[in-house]
Amino acid sequence: KAGVTQTPRYLIKTRGQQVTLSCSPISGHRSVSWYQQTPGQGLQFLFEYFSETQRNKGNFPGRFSGRQFSNSRSEMNVSTLELGDSALYLCASSPTSSGSTDTQYFGPGTRLTVL
Amino acid sequence: AQKVTQAQTEISVVEKEDVTLDCVYETRDTTYYLFWYKQPPSGELVFLIRRNSFDEQNEISGRYSWNFQKSTSSFNFTITASQVVDSAVYFCALSGINSGYSTLTFGKGTMLLVSP
């Protein structure tokens, strides 16, 4: 079974631009979560999607948004990029939603650099 | 609020040494799950183990073993006879019923360097 895939793997953007990252979950998995990893703050939860609905959200500004499609693929968008948004963005999938206790399996991440 | 503390920022060992990575957690949930993930230089978080709060049995998987002690809120990870391929950053994580089981709270990670 293929793992979680994320595209692109690397991105370079400039301040003020916007960016869209994509995540395809493991086949059959319906829940997708996003995390931001930075040297200073570590790994922080962004949001979770299940059945095309955001089920849970971390403490991030509204510039960070996401969506999920009917095939469970998910995208996250960051608008008006700031230097501090430079990070590794990790996507994780699990079979069901936040009410379950399923293990999350992570993709390789998208490394975003904001200049 | 939940919190996971990995006090060891970096550990260096020589191949074949045993090494223990510490993890201490805080939660008000009575039902929670603890995890260990490995992050090699490629960046992907690799799942290693999950334990629930009701199961304090220690677990061994090959050279890996985990010691869960609720009394001290610790979930330590030991690698026996370490190998160079074990070099990575290891994260301990926690999820609980109140924050939603799919919301993982991670520690800052411990970088393990195993030299030949």
Q: Chain B: which residues have CB within 8 Å of chain A? A: 33, 35, 37, 42-47, 50, 52, 91, 93, 95, 100-109
Q: Which residues contact B80 (CB under 8 A, 6 or more apart)?
A: B18, B63, B64, B65
Per-residue b or e along A5-42, where b marks 16 or more CB atoms closer than 10 Å to that residue's CB: bbeeeebebeeeeebebebbbbeebbbbbbbbbeeeeb
Q: Is the pLDDT of residue A98 over 60?
A: no
Interface of A with B in 70-89 (CB under 8 A): 88
Q: Which among A97, A105, A108 has the least Cβ separation from residue B43?
A: A108
B100/A109 CB distance under 8 A? no
* Interchain CB distance below 8 Å, A98 and B109: no
Query: What pLDDT sits at residue B59?
Result: 86
**pLDDT tens, residue by residue, A38-96:** 999 999 999 999 989 998 899 999 999 999 999 999 999 999 999 999 999 999 999 87
Chain B CA closest to residue A31: B102
The predicted pLDDT at position B103 comes to 87
